Amino acid sequence: MRIRTAFLGLLLGSTVLALSACNTVRGLGEDLESAADAGEEAIN
């Protein structure tokens, strides 16, 4: 039970940090586009 609680806390904390990294929907879109471009370059 303690491991599950710790895992959920870690998951929640990382989600909050990820969401605060891109403050706006536009920022989120740019982050996703950047990740897609990097993946495409890695494939090519």
Each residue's pLDDT tens digit, 1-44: 688 888 888 888 888 877 776 566 667 778 888 888 888 777 77
Asked whether 5 and 13 are in contact (CB, 8 A), the reply is no
For residue 24, count CB atoms less than 10 angstroms from its CB and return exposed for 0-12, middle for 13-18, buried for 19 or more.
Answer: exposed
End-to-end CA distance of the chain: 45
User: Which pLDDT belongs to residue 3?
Assistant: 85
Q: What is the sign of the dihedral through the CA atoms of 14, 16, 21 and 22?
A: positive
Model pLDDT, residue 23: 63
CA distance 44 to 37: 11
